[in-house]
Structure 1
């Protein structure tokens, strides 16, 4: 089964926007999917909000493709040659199932719940050695069932999905005749009732034997212009072997060419300690820079790991700043990243993922886990630093070491270090378990496979957004609401911030009432989400009272999210005119929907807000594809050192462009050469005369051709 990776709420959003479902049905589906850790498509079918045929037809229409029902997929007999084109690991990783191979055109058709996952389809095309891969929409649970049935021999996989089906003619959308129910020359597929035959037995799993990481298919490093990757279903921690026996995966790779007799301990990059250790040295920028230089020098002799600790530190700083940690905590966690590999110069690179999956790595890590702290003991580094390093091999499910901590018992610094260290290894070390350096989205997919067992799931989700530019994509596609979260606890705010961003919010964080007032007075905040206890008990309620009296909070929606559950607190909050009150812990997805509804009730007629960003964060081709597929009407304005430019969109189509004295297509092609500068999206835009007739896809293809040939002036 594919691991749970979010409810895919964008489908429900689109159905609600198009008037296909009611608000109550939307809420029920989100709650059901969140509670059962399932996809929104399955939730709507199980709750009978929409029939499977109607839902699949809607999704297929959105993506201009076809669909296959669970009933038809359960009756499919797939040729072994078709199955061999996609390995069971790849099928499970990306949530795809091969159904048809056209030998004449070398086109492989796959059933998937995510037909817009271009990165996955491109990887499958390369691995399968075909010219093209076409996505056919299927229910998520049906794809998982097909993988279990055909690869693992689970004959009961479809039992829970099969219900009476009344319309067999609409097997594939926009097809007058079912292509799987006819014989085609050169097409390897047959959809009919299987003949009785012994079913392959699934491989039994016995005992607590450690799971060995699968060897994935080759990962391409070819750069292509495409939309940011949507989060794809990923491999669960344990995967049953396919029905056809396969050789066991190779032994874990060595990440260093040093001989086994190499010294086990790296020299610590510190001078002789002074008589009294200096207080909190990691608060010093100079101290961190010294660590950077010294550790980088030590790593020069480590094959494939040169500059590794510096990369880990940079990623940790970016993630911690995004979480909103204090400068002291950020500095401490950055220092732990520089020091985490001290004393670990053996044959294995000991990341949290490698240690969790390979027994040899685990044994080596148990011997070396205390070495960095011991080496730095006389340097007087803060406890926060050594604690993060010592506990970086704890697992979120409690099966790690040295202390078997679980969940939030694991220090935050250790959870951050585990994620960024593994990501750096996957994306930069060619001798990682996948034998190739992975692209950012691919490395994040690997992390997602182990969210909730090895890694903190919230940190994995937030890190994915930081690394793959999903924030900018969400901003471009949504009419933004602006929320201020007032809470002194960084971990509590991180999860809610992540979910609000996914649902189209701009989110700002304040730790005290004074900070919150400055944010409200300097920004266009629409809703405030405040804890009751801030710098002192009940300071959140006092802040609400002050906001009403001073006038700076009168027009803001206001929600109390608190750990207090007594009646007196709730009564006082409502007397102060708050719009809602909720108790911690709260389901972040559902709470985000409630906040949006509160805002829309108070300000349903407010226009959309502009979005700003940098071309270094997201390139112009990616933005064009997002706005095109999102059918946006807007003006994308670009400011560079060479002057301003504009691209006008009407319902997703590019109708006009201006840049550097040029107009129309020539101006658009010229702007494709820009890699530095700022952009602003203006949604309150009325389209003018159309000077460009070519589709966005045609413009991009022609622009890429001109860039390759160097013919853009």
Structure 2
């Protein structure tokens, strides 16, 4: 048992915060489960979370952050990027605030006195100071999972009691999962026997969306309960894990963009969570799949009412069932069940059809394209079916809603990606940290099989490899990779415990960029790797740029992304027959040119553009600073001028 567990319990007992019986019970459960003592204290209700965190904060001479605040925290990408995901997960450290003026990074961790971990964070982030606040261990892990992995239900399973309830319900559900009919009967039986986690009061609502419990389908706790339940059920389908939660999130965004009332928005979101319930056969029944494939259509015609039938006893609001049961209508009137067309189709059904298809295209590798598509590619697919399967106006609105996120990611993603192949994880730790410090994204593989899986994605820009690998040889791996399109020119550095001249010659014959024998200084190696990357960039014409349309992201939003991301380069704009550019240096705007205009006036003229194309050249260096105002001041003044012009 960790001595720290004993000491904390002894202190709590000595200070009169827990009883001797509670101390003994906690020690026993820690010994049996291996769980951290903080979680055991909360699980046995020896102390409530606020009292425990307050005590820990005083003990560590810091402040605390509650689970509720972590769950609601929306951390900006600049702050998250200060701590690489692997480091955050390894040391359970979550960044919450970065002060650029003082170069201070604030993090939440269950171990604010863990000096080695905080030192690694400081090295990786390049900040002057790291301030550590204390938080509940599971809450910190949930925050990391939510922020870095996009797991929007990370906090929903913190409560073990709730999780156990849902698991019990899932087990009952799975035991009766023989056919559609038996599934309906099993769930209906649970509903009438009071074995359900979601009660009649939670579900029961009229068309208005109100409920006996107060919030009905609009209530956040109700939606979170649906989130957990559906996620547990979807765990049996690996390719669709988290699918319905993503569909619900997209549906909510579109409903908010349209400006729908809270009751209507809540009903549509509820329908999005439930839309796949009872349809867990061989086919994934999206509106696009059902429109294109007869097998999918035949299955959907049998199962389109499954969610409503499964929950018939709890009387879902009318708008929820209407949304679910009309998601297979087509805009051209060739769908089912009613053959409705255009705006005859309920709005919820039209939105759900688009959101469900988009989530399938971007998340499910078994979609009709047999690969996950980027947001812009998925929107192009939706556009092909606008006016036939999907509402054309909603397709356009949906594209505006989702693709701005893709542009932002591309504008900010300029880190070089390196793969370390070494069977010894300890051997790679220092090198990985040094690479992270220098702005690399690092992946690790401990075998040839793992390495090939990563390399086949074609995303790596540099490989550092040992020669002695499990089930094979590093030189054989290099030879194999050189035969494939993605590996023909891939920079490859050998760092090995072998020092044979013959090995070195074979490596260079296969096009290795360097051959180094262990031990080698991590700092020296990183310097060499940076030289290799820079040489490759020069030969390839510099770093990769980003291009797109102003329809994907407006210029004001783009300026804010580049400003907050402290990006440098030239943002080139073309609209009609006119063209211009904005020069950035570490996020600051140095100059702007549009037609015959220069400086601030050129910037204000471009800010009005709503159509056109852009291209970001990260290799450009601004020759001089002409504009002295901050990007924030320029945007405010530009918006003021646009408002005045609209009057």
**Fold-level match, TM-score > 0.5?**
no
Give TM-score scaled by structure 2 length: 0.37
**TM-score, normalising length from structure 1?**
0.34
- The structure in which a higher percent of residues are helix is 2
Higher relative contact order structure (alpha carbons within 8 Å, sequence separation ≥ 6) = 1
